[in-house]
Amino acid sequence: MRHRKKFNHLGRTAAHRKAMLANMACSLIEHKRINTTVAKAKALKQFVEPLITKSKAENNQTTEKGTHNRRVVFSKLRNKHAVTELFSAVSEKVGDRPGGYTRIIKLGNRLGDNADMAMIELVDFNELYNAGKPKKKSTRRSRRGGGKAKAEAAPAVAETKVDDSEE
């Protein structure tokens, strides 16, 4: 029985699977998007998002914890160029995002073996999706309802104005 066993083995041994996911994560960090099968993309998403979170946390903490996070990420990726890219460019770009750093877009079936293909990309690096969306305001609204009172008072003032030009 496979009760509570959600991990997709992808038809590989543990060492092969770890090496493949590390290579795919390095390629994703370097190129910002890659094409692969849907199953591998979903496995890669679970693999790479905690690493991006660790890189993001490095900027907010002291150097000891930052060095620790770099070493933890390096033990998973095993590529110092990818770790440098992750902790510099990628962590700056996703600094304000609370999660969901990757996007999976299904592309259809592969011609050779009819496998479901997908493109996985880093969300903040796609300018086509981000161009139409304006930046969110940094201020927060209070729960007191001050905005409604101001909005209702403004039309009342505009209605009391009398046009004297007709007389």
Per-residue pLDDT of 75-114, as tens digits, reads 999 999 999 999 999 999 998 999 999 999 999 999 999 9
User: Rounded to whole angstroms, how far apart are CA atoms 39 and 120?
Assistant: 11
pLDDT at position 54 is 94
What would the two tokens of residue 38 be?
A: 């849907």
pLDDT at position 153 is 55
**SS3 (DSSP) at 152:** helix
pLDDT at position 31 is 96
Q: What is the pTM of this model?
A: 0.75
Q: How far is CA 166 from the centre of its chain?
A: 60
- Is the per-residue pLDDT at 32 higher than 70? yes
User: Rounded to whole angstroms, how far apart are CA atoms 72 and 82?
Assistant: 13
> Among positive and negative, which fits the CA dihedral 10, 97, 103, 23?
negative
Q: Is 81 or 61 the better-scoring residue by pLDDT?
A: 81
Class of domain 14-129: alpha beta
User: Exposed, middle or buried by CB within 10 Å (0-12, 13-18, 19+), for 39?
Assistant: middle
